[in-house]
Amino acid sequence: MQVGSRRCILNPVSGTGEHGDYVSRLLRARGFAVDRTEGAGDGIELARDAADAGVSELAVCGGDGTVNEVLRGLAASDHLGDVTLSVVPAGTANLLARMIGVETTEQGVEVADTGDVRTVDVGMAGGEPFLVSCIAGFPAEASVAASSDLKERFGTLAFVITGLGEAVEFDGLNIHLETGDGQVWEGEALCLLVGNARRFVGSGGQADMEDGLFDVAVVEQKFAGSLVAEAISHRVFGRETDGVFHVQADSLSVTGQDGPITFSRDGEVGEYERLDLSIRPRALDLRVGSGYEPRPHPE
């Protein structure tokens, strides 16, 4: 284990798996020690080790799953507030990187070195952290169904291709949702979308990561036809679209009324009969690119 004030946790098999040596050279030139994951769960332990060693700058090179592992390691060891995190995108979708204005590997290295630092919210779902979103329903089913071969051939389009098929066959979710301020939605939902960095209504794109609120959308099951086919490729629904319940909340609970529900938390999948979600406001220092909007305008 290499010790220093700057460290990168690098997943050498993310995305195409061709970035490892190249990114390592770039980061080492900027004073980062590089630790490579070798299997699932390694990001959690490497993040714990880095924080325990007093690392102040922690870069993550990989996809959203690798970032989430590192986040889980920091949260589990109570070190979320002790490091400045940065993201060097090398996965398939790289949703977090895109939401914070980091488009390329080279830009990610530059941002890790000199990017602006913002203090952002961290979502918690069932005691586990996430930065981008926590979703249930057909998008979560699609993320499970998309094979690694499909992802390699089509990238993010794999989720669109799979999702369209899943939407046709998906039976819906019978849920009871209640926000911390007492707003309630109950019934058959096609999907539940809870965004922290990601907005699912209006113009979509980046949500406000510093307002202490989730952006929540529930799409009713009865609108599964043309609405879904139109919207899935954009992952966005109109703010006034019939059959879409939209609310902002700092906490909510979701109960499956017909049994456990599959949730995808930044790509990490789990089943819950009841899931409690809450925001940790301004809990993480995160380096961002020039395209990051501290206060994105809802449209």
Task: Provide, rounded to the nearest whole percent, the portion of the chain with pLDDT above 70.
Answer: 79
Global pTM value: 0.86
Name the least confident of 104-118, 129-143, 152-166, 281-295.
152-166
**Please, which residues have CB within 8 angstroms of residue 150's CB and are 6 or more apart in sequence?**
158, 161, 162
pLDDT at 196 > cutoff 60: yes
Alpha-carbon distance 85 to 73, whole Å?
Answer: 13
119-148 pLDDT per residue, tens = 999 999 999 999 999 988 865 545 544 444
What's the mean pLDDT in 208-228? 80
Structure confidence at residue 234 as a pLDDT band (50, 70, 90): very low
pLDDT digits (tens, 9 = 90+) for 4-26: 599 999 999 887 777 889 999 99
- Minimum mean pLDDT among 29-43, 92-106, 178-192, 219-233: which range? 219-233
In the CATH hierarchy, which fold is given to the domain comprising 130-280? Tumour Suppressor Smad4 (2.60.200)
What integer pLDDT is reported at residue 16 of this predicted model?
78
Between 212 and 198, where is the model more confident?
A: 212
| CATH topology for the 6-114 domain | Rossmann fold (3.40.50)
Domain ranges of the chain: 6-114, 130-280
